[in-house]
Chains A and B, each alone.
Chain A
Amino acid sequence: MKKLFVITLALIVMATSGFAMRGSSGHVNILYWQAPSILNPYLSGGTKEIEAASLIIEPLARYDESGNMVPWLAESIPTTENGGVSDDLKTITWKIRDGLVWSDGSSFTSADVVFTHEYCTHPEGGCAQGQKFEDVVSVEALDDLTVKVTFSIEKPFPYGPFVGAQSPIIQKAQFEDCLGTAAPGCTDQNFMPIGTGPYVVTEFRPNDVISLEANANYRDSAKPGFATVTFKGGGDATAAGRAVLETGEFDYAWNLQLAPQVLQQMSEAGKGQVISAFGTAVERIMVNMTDPSPERGEERSTRAHPHPFLSDINVRKALSLAIDRNILNEIGYGITGKPTCNVVPAPAIYASTANEGCLVQDMDMANQILDEAGWVKGSDGVREKDGMRLSILYQTSTNAVRQDFQALIKQWWSEIGVETELRNLDASVFFGGDPGSPDTFQKFFADVEMYTNIFDGTDPEPYFNLWKCGREPSPENGWQGGNIPRYCDEGYDANLSELSKTGDLNRRIELSKALNDQLMQEYIMIPLIHRGRVSAHSNSLGGVVLNPWDSELWNIADWYRQ
């Protein structure tokens, strides 16, 4: 019956437009080599779940491929100019599109938006997107299509709640009995959410495959182009690349972080193409400003003891100068990365140009700086001063590219008289945050460590907030906190607090660049590679626009078969 309805609807659309019609492109196969386990992004913060869910449930506004915010379920983006954001920067009022319906046919109202907030902020729910609703005091429905969000503090960038793939709107009627501790019991709801998006789930097999069909109630009667979708999970990145680029079994493969020559070789088969887009991900080396030596006992890697030699800016600068970022990029990333000298390399308006010098490796300069600072080479070629040897423990997670980087950098550092011991740790332990483990990146029981971090959306303020004084992981706070280098500077914090009160975009850009430049010019972190998202699609799949700011499948309604 449903099918019949779709067909009649499609016929009507065809008769009127004579062009595209819903489902006219047939079937599309999508492959995510990490399989989604649930379709409720509020119960799992994983990228795979967020992206899979984005086919079904949608936010009020999201980001397009260049990082601009576009209204999605909302009529427009509220700003201070159009009165949507109050002058005191404490409230934002969203107008919902008129006539929106859920896939079950009921109308979408502001009550659903209010409920979404209630669902995620329930104290016992363990909501994975809690940070999206930080500082939110209340979410009220002013009328059926108007929602007002009130914050406890000034929010110059009030686009956290209900914006982006991480905070889509869920249906009140469906999730009403799933609040708090009841949330995990709602298997049907979590596997088959009712949404406003282009697709509805017909079958969900956790960690395996999702079958979807076009939403008969989708707001654009000519979309989506594909009638059905198979969203398969499992395997590994190489196999996923092979299935799209070499055998052509699948139309779209996500996250192909493979060696550049492997991707090159695969795309030569001519069945598909590799696409990449750059968001905010930067592979960087974090410098420990505190003493990680085991003799410090309880005070190891805390601000009680500054690092014996890395607190000397000359050493940090020399370490950065000795690295050839172009070679690293060539070996590890190819077209999927570019060398960078900034921790915030994007969006373009926030990218500073003050640090480009780091792109050129300068061994002579590095050696000279160390010589002038009094670090003298000993008989074994390792520099020392006052009995302190430049001997570094360099840790990262286990990953082929990262180990290549470690080996190269160790070689370069040895050329400037720095001895390096390498260490790699299983990613689930390293990023695990288990306060009982000595090997987490937060504990940082090493001199330097390398990993990638990103920030959500396009506003870097929360990102800069990570490196605020007092946010460093320590035994007092159970080794939680984002200030991994244990950086502490009054000037930085002053700029940061100004940023949190500034609504004017130009001033925000200025301040952001200043914050970025301060971190870079003091070599608190040594950025290496600006990493892109890499995916592949078959030659016959049209309409794909790779979006590094939101879900990769954000515009699947526009996909079609060529």
Chain B
Amino acid sequence: MFNYTIRRTLLAIPTLFFISLVLFLLLDLAPGDPTAQLPLTIPPEVREKIRLALGLGEPFHIRFLLWLEQFFINEPLHLLTELTGVDFSGDRQRVISWQSRSPVMDIVVQRLPQTLWVVGMSYVIGTIIALPIGIISAYRQYSWFDQIGTFVSMVGFSIPTFFTGVLLIVIFSVHLGWFPSIYDTTHVVTDWSSLIVQIKQMIMPTMVLALYNAAQISRFMRASMLDNLNQDYVRTARAKGLRENVVLLVHVLRNSMIPVVTVIAIGVPTVFGGAIITEQVFKVNGLGQLLITAIQANDIPMVQTLTFIFAVLIVLFNLLADILYGILDPRIRYE
């Protein structure tokens, strides 16, 4: 198992390098221009100067190597400086966003709290809702509970969040006036009343995303439970006279969780990727919104860095899912 983990981790390095190259090539070859969003009153000579000042005059390989250096050497050194207070980084150039001319990683760190709160919370809530629904739906297959569960997850799965989001805003913000339609990222929780404000502004975006996540996970849970319920070992357990609770929650559930846990683990990077549409609808301005505005503005260093971080997370959590698989299922050991 240990060997396997080491091998997989080492293999991830060339994979990630290849991904970063592909990302850079894609961004570089795609049409678009960082000055495209500027008003037409700005003349072309000025635009050209802006492009040169952004470093676009350099050839492709130089810019790629520069980014590699900035991301893999300068940024970690800077982080070390921040953490220890000892100056490791000197005046090494960090990855700089073209839009704000400030370090990309600083903005990412600034965006993390709201993304983790809203998108992360929705993932947690979605999972908490999904597991019991999946278990009961499978145990009482074709009952009214199963039918309703199926219906709700179909709804959650098929209705896009830009629809449910706006629908919730129209009902709860415009008509009832219960919740704000705009998320305040500067809000700080200090006491009970500010916590309530925070919950109020989180409730709609979280629920919209939780519905979507719950729909997905509950279907996996249900399918996996159904697979196991018909197994011979379940009959044996019942024949031995074990109580139904024990049969279901100890024997069946544990075995059914194996594929579900991997699905949940693989889904975690999407939390960090943010929820582009939902963040936009509720003005949460997390990582998803950061990515989409950077794409619109052709802010290549920002897009490159963000997408690469997502790639790292995806590779990492896939690895984690594989290892979890081995831990949960003793039959499986990658040797």
* A/B pair count, beta carbons within 8 Å: 183
* A239 and B181 contact, CB distance less than 8 A: yes
> In the assembled complex, which residues on chain B have CB atoms less than 8 Å from the CB atom of A125?
49, 53
Nearest chain A CB to B164's CB is how many angstroms away? 15
Q: Chain A contact residues (Cβ within 8 angstroms of B): what range?
A: 35 or more
Known: A433-B35, A437-B31, A439-B31. A203 touches B40 (CB 8 A): no
> In the assembled complex, which residues on chain A have CB atoms less than 8 Å from the CB atom of B85?
none
> In the assembled complex, which residues on chain B have CB atoms less than 8 Å from the CB atom of A129?
42, 46
- Nearest residue (CB) in A for B52 is A126
Known: A31-B182, A206-B97. A432 touches B44 (CB 8 A): no
Chain B 40-94 interface residues, beta-carbon cutoff 8 Å to A: 40-54
Within the assembled complex, what's the spacing in Å between the Cα atoms of A431 and B296?
12
- Nearest residue (CB) in B for A441 is B40
- Nearest residue (CB) in A for B285 is A208
- Nearest residue (CB) in A for B51 is A126
- Nearest residue (CB) in B for A479 is B44
Known: A130-B45, A481-B44. A236 touches B280 (CB 8 A): yes
Within the assembled complex, what's the spacing in Å between the Cα atoms of A289 and B291?
40
The verdict on A493 contacting chain B, using a C-beta distance below 8 Å, is no
Nearest chain A CB to B7's CB is how many angstroms away? 41
Within the assembled complex, what's the spacing in Å between the Cα atoms of A205 and B289?
13
Chain A 114-155 interface residues, beta-carbon cutoff 8 Å to B: 124-131
* B281 and A190 contact, CB distance less than 8 A: no
Known: A207-B99, A480-B45. A47 touches B39 (CB 8 A): yes
The verdict on A428 contacting chain B, using a C-beta distance below 8 Å, is yes
At the interface with chain B, which of A37-45, A78-86, A499-507? Answer: A37-45
Known: A234-B283, A433-B44. A128 touches B50 (CB 8 A): yes
* B281 and A239 contact, CB distance less than 8 A: yes
- Nearest residue (CB) in B for A39 is B100
Known: A130-B49, A203-B186, A234-B285. A242 touches B181 (CB 8 A): yes
Per-residue B-contact encoding for A224-237, CB less than 8 Å = 1, 0 else: 00000010111110
Within the assembled complex, what's the spacing in Å between the Cα atoms of A127 and B51?
10
Chain A 211-270 interface residues, beta-carbon cutoff 8 Å to B: 211, 230, 232-236, 239, 242-243, 246-247, 249-250, 269
User: Which of the residues B40, B111, B169, B290 comes within 8 Å of A242, measured between beta carbons?
Assistant: B169
At the interface with chain B, which of A11-19, A319-327, A452-460? Answer: A452-460
* B102 and A429 contact, CB distance less than 8 A: no
The verdict on B5 contacting chain A, using a C-beta distance below 8 Å, is no
> In the assembled complex, which residues on chain A have CB atoms less than 8 Å from the CB atom of B46?
45, 127-131
* B31 and A434 contact, CB distance less than 8 A: yes
* B293 and A433 contact, CB distance less than 8 A: no
* B31 and A436 contact, CB distance less than 8 A: yes
* B283 and A239 contact, CB distance less than 8 A: yes
Nearest chain B CB to A157's CB is how many angstroms away? 15
* B281 and A455 contact, CB distance less than 8 A: no
The verdict on B22 contacting chain A, using a C-beta distance below 8 Å, is no
- Nearest residue (CB) in A for B299 is A37
The verdict on A482 contacting chain B, using a C-beta distance below 8 Å, is yes
> In the assembled complex, which residues on chain A have CB atoms less than 8 Å from the CB atom of B106?
187
- Nearest residue (CB) in A for B36 is A432
> In the assembled complex, which residues on chain A have CB atoms less than 8 Å from the CB atom of B103?
187
Nearest chain A CB to B158's CB is how many angstroms away? 23
Within the assembled complex, what's the spacing in Å between the Cα atoms of A431 and B50?
16
At the interface with chain A, which of B172-180, B207-215, B322-330? Answer: B172-180
The verdict on B110 contacting chain A, using a C-beta distance below 8 Å, is yes
* A249 and B180 contact, CB distance less than 8 A: yes
* A35 and B285 contact, CB distance less than 8 A: yes
Nearest chain B CB to A486's CB is how many angstroms away? 15
Per-residue A-contact encoding for B104-133, CB less than 8 Å = 1, 0 else: 001100110000000000000000000000
> In the assembled complex, which residues on chain B have CB atoms less than 8 Å from the CB atom of A242?
169, 173-174, 181
* B32 and A429 contact, CB distance less than 8 A: yes
* B36 and A235 contact, CB distance less than 8 A: no
- The residue among A44, A191, A455 with the most chain B CB atoms within 10 A of its own CB is A44
Chain B 137-155 interface residues, beta-carbon cutoff 8 Å to A: none
The verdict on B38 contacting chain A, using a C-beta distance below 8 Å, is yes
* B101 and A190 contact, CB distance less than 8 A: yes
Within the assembled complex, what's the spacing in Å between the Cα atoms of A434 and B38?
13
Nearest chain B CB to A29's CB is how many angstroms away? 9
- Nearest residue (CB) in B for A203 is B186
Within the assembled complex, what's the spacing in Å between the Cα atoms of A207 and B36?
17
User: Which of the residues B31, B36, B52 comes within 8 Å of A427, measured between beta carbons?
Assistant: B36
The verdict on A194 contacting chain B, using a C-beta distance below 8 Å, is no
Within the assembled complex, what's the spacing in Å between the Cα atoms of A38 and B280?
20
Within the assembled complex, what's the spacing in Å between the Cα atoms of A394 and B100?
36
- Nearest residue (CB) in B for A45 is B38
> In the assembled complex, which residues on chain B have CB atoms less than 8 Å from the CB atom of A126?
49-54
* B283 and A131 contact, CB distance less than 8 A: no
- Nearest residue (CB) in A for B103 is A187
Within the assembled complex, what's the spacing in Å between the Cα atoms of A44 and B289?
20
The verdict on B262 contacting chain A, using a C-beta distance below 8 Å, is no
Known: A126-B54, A207-B285, A249-B181. A35 touches B293 (CB 8 A): yes
* B37 and A46 contact, CB distance less than 8 A: yes
Within the assembled complex, what's the spacing in Å between the Cα atoms of A433 and B34?
10
The verdict on A209 contacting chain B, using a C-beta distance below 8 Å, is yes
> In the assembled complex, which residues on chain A have CB atoms less than 8 Å from the CB atom of B45?
130, 480
* A250 and B36 contact, CB distance less than 8 A: no
Nearest chain A CB to B177's CB is how many angstroms away? 7
> In the assembled complex, which residues on chain A have CB atoms less than 8 Å from the CB atom of B54?
126
The verdict on B307 contacting chain A, using a C-beta distance below 8 Å, is no
* B182 and A428 contact, CB distance less than 8 A: no
> In the assembled complex, which residues on chain B have CB atoms less than 8 Å from the CB atom of A434?
31-33, 36
The verdict on B298 contacting chain A, using a C-beta distance below 8 Å, is yes
> In the assembled complex, which residues on chain A have CB atoms less than 8 Å from the CB atom of B50?
45, 126, 128
Nearest chain B CB to A40's CB is how many angstroms away? 8
* B36 and A46 contact, CB distance less than 8 A: no
* B37 and A234 contact, CB distance less than 8 A: no
User: What are 22 sample pairs from A and B whose C-beta atoms fall under 8 A apart?
Assistant: A31-B182, A125-B49, A128-B50, A130-B46, A131-B46, A184-B101, A186-B101, A203-B186, A207-B100, A208-B289, A209-B186, A235-B280, A243-B181, A269-B174, A432-B32, A433-B33, A434-B31, A434-B36, A455-B41, A480-B45, A480-B48, A482-B43
Binding site for A on B (CB under 8 A): 31-33, 35-54, 96-97, 99-103, 106-107, 110-111, 169, 173-174, 177, 180-182, 184-186, 280-281, 283, 285, 289-290, 293, 296-298
Q: A37-B99, A206-B102, A429-B32 are in contact. List 16 more A-B contacts (CB 8 A).
A: A126-B54, A184-B53, A190-B100, A205-B185, A206-B107, A233-B285, A239-B181, A239-B182, A243-B181, A249-B180, A427-B36, A429-B31, A433-B33, A434-B31, A456-B41, A481-B44
Binding site for B on A (CB under 8 A): 31, 35, 37-38, 40, 43-47, 124-131, 181, 183-187, 190-191, 203, 205-209, 211, 230, 232-236, 239, 242-243, 246-247, 249-250, 269, 427-429, 431-434, 436-437, 439, 451, 453-456, 478, 480-482
